[in-house]
Amino acid sequence: MQHNPFFDPAPRQHTDGLFAREEVYLANRNHGALLEMLRHEVTPAGLHYLLNHFDVPYVPDAEAWRLHVGGRVSTPLSLSLEDIRALPPKTLRVTLECAGSGRANIVPRWPSMPWLNTAVGTSEWTGTPLSNVIERAGLAADVVDVSFTGADRGFDKGHEHEYGRSLTPDVAMHNDVLLVYAMNGQPLLPQHGFPLRLIVPGWYGMASVKWLHRIEALTMPYDGYEQVQSYIYKTGAADRGVPVTQMRVKSLMVPPGVPDWFTGARLVEAGQVTVYGRAWSGNGAPITKVEFGIDGAWSNAELDPPAAKYAWRGWRFDWDASRGEHELACRATDDNGQTQPLTPAFDRGGFGNNAVHKVQVTVR
């Protein structure tokens, strides 16, 4: 990991003010899912949230792509896509959320991708369990971390690196961690990791390395920038922090009515309105309850039948909308008893904001 002090163009500090041009630059490149598209159980192509740290690699010839597996293994491998597609296939419907979703609602705010609350999506991911490849390579008994490196490269705070992350061997060998080459039955889109990526169900998206080209078995803890410096929960500067891993329980609603273009403020017609939404949690923990809040009073929403293990669960609430201003909200609970806070906890990097989704509406 190389630190290049001459290439850290804009040192950052927390702010509670307006947004910098750099934040807007990131919001031009990355995009959320559009809340109204929560009506779709599987997010349509191009509407799955996108958070790419560096340029999307240009891969004109996927047949030349190789996945190298090395480090403390008995048999180093160099696998083509054909090799990987020949392994037993597996498809999982997985909800992924960006760890930074909701960052722009945390005060003070860390300047980075200024997500409001839409960095989430659900796809059918097809590939093969990573364990099939790792078993073929054969991990040594003293391996403590398995690292995953993508082909996307650049700088962050002067650190030059290819995007990389690691998993402990027990997580890496879990049968639902996939090496993925297809999304919703189509080849991966370039921006989602073509030709090969990792999918780590239940975890925030940073674990699901895109454009994966190198796996390495390590006998010392992995110290890549995105693992040990970037995705860490911290509340103070001196805080050693806690790594970001599984997604926290969360829910979102389709804002009812129609929007004002510039503000997104909602106008709703008085009367019966069905409000739709989805809820999810990490670690495959099922959603057991979603509450719908109207001006601070909570009622249970109706849950759709249980979804696939790692996918969000639909819900709906029939609201009798009366004229005036109202604050709507939704709050999910999973079967670990975890639920959502009413307001976001402060986090230095703006990670893990699972506060309830609130929508202000004007009913006429």
**In the complex, what is the shortest distance from the CB of residue 26 to its own copies, in angstroms, rounded to a whole number?**
7
Contact flag: residue 240 with its own copies (CB under 8 A): no
Question: Residue 148 CA to chain centroid, in angstroms?
Answer: 17
| Dist. CA 169–CA 313, nearest whole Å | 30
**In the complex, what is the shortest distance from the CB of residue 255 to its own copies, in angstroms, rounded to a whole number?**
8
Distances (CA, A) of 297 to 63, 113, 267: 57, 33, 21
Contact flag: residue 341 with its own copies (CB under 8 A): no
The Cβ of residue 351 has, within 10 Å, a number of other Cβ atoms equal to 27
* DSSP conformation letters of 157-184: TTEEEEEEEEE-HHHHT-TT-EEEEEET
DSSP 8-state code for residue 144: -
**In the complex, what is the shortest distance from the CB of residue 118 to its own copies, in angstroms, rounded to a whole number?**
6
**In the complex, what is the shortest distance from the CB of residue 262 to its own copies, in angstroms, rounded to a whole number?**
5
Of the candidates 5, 16, 21, 297, which one interacts with its own copies according to CB under 8 A? 21
Contact flag: residue 20 with its own copies (CB under 8 A): yes
Of the candidates 1, 24, 64, 242, which one interacts with its own copies according to CB under 8 A? 24
- Choice between 146 and 188, CB closer to its own copies: 188
| Dist. CA 54–CA 307, nearest whole Å | 33
Which secondary structure element, helix H or strand E, spans residue 23, and what is its range? helix 21-29
Contact flag: residue 267 with its own copies (CB under 8 A): yes
- Choice between 167 and 183, CB closer to its own copies: 183
Cβ atoms of 329 and 315 within 8 Å: the answer is no
**In the complex, what is the shortest distance from the CB of residue 213 to its own copies, in angstroms, rounded to a whole number?**
16
Contact flag: residue 106 with its own copies (CB under 8 A): no
Q: Which of 17, 141, 126, 158 is nearest to 74 (CA)?
A: 141
Q: Which of 112, 198, 73, 81 is nearest to 148 (CA)?
A: 198
Subset of 128-187 contacting its own copies (CB under 8 A): 153-156, 160
Contact flag: residue 45 with its own copies (CB under 8 A): yes
**In the complex, what is the shortest distance from the CB of residue 157 to its own copies, in angstroms, rounded to a whole number?**
8
| Dist. CA 15–CA 334, nearest whole Å | 33
**In the complex, what is the shortest distance from the CB of residue 153 to its own copies, in angstroms, rounded to a whole number?**
5
**In the complex, what is the shortest distance from the CB of residue 126 to its own copies, in angstroms, rounded to a whole number?**
17
Contact flag: residue 48 with its own copies (CB under 8 A): yes
Contact flag: residue 32 with its own copies (CB under 8 A): yes
Of the candidates 42, 77, 116, 232, which one interacts with its own copies according to CB under 8 A? 116
State the Rg of the chain over Cα: 21
Contact flag: residue 323 with its own copies (CB under 8 A): no
Tokens of 231: 């995705």
Of the candidates 17, 88, 236, 296, which one interacts with its own copies according to CB under 8 A? 17
Tokens of 128: 């093969």
Choose one: 12-20, 76-84, 308-316, 329-337; the region binding its own copies (CB under 8 A): 12-20
Of the candidates 76, 108, 185, 264, which one interacts with its own copies according to CB under 8 A? 264
Of the candidates 92, 99, 102, 112, which one interacts with its own copies according to CB under 8 A? 112
Amino acid identity, residue 45?
Answer: A
Please give the backbone phi and psi of residue 124, each rounded to the nearest 5 degrees, phi first. -90, 115
Tokens of 296: 């601070």
Q: In which region does residue 324 sit, left (phi positive, over 0), alpha (psi from -120 to 50) or beta (all else)?
A: left
Q: What angle do CA 243, 248, 253 make, to 5 degrees?
A: 145
Contact flag: residue 197 with its own copies (CB under 8 A): no
Cβ atoms of 123 and 308 within 8 Å: the answer is no
Of the candidates 1, 2, 7, 242, which one interacts with its own copies according to CB under 8 A? 7
- Residue numbers of the site for its own copies (CB under 8 A)? 4, 6-10, 12, 17-32, 34, 36-37, 39-40, 44-48, 50, 52-56, 58, 60, 104, 111-112, 114-116, 118, 153-156, 160, 189-192, 258-265, 267, 362
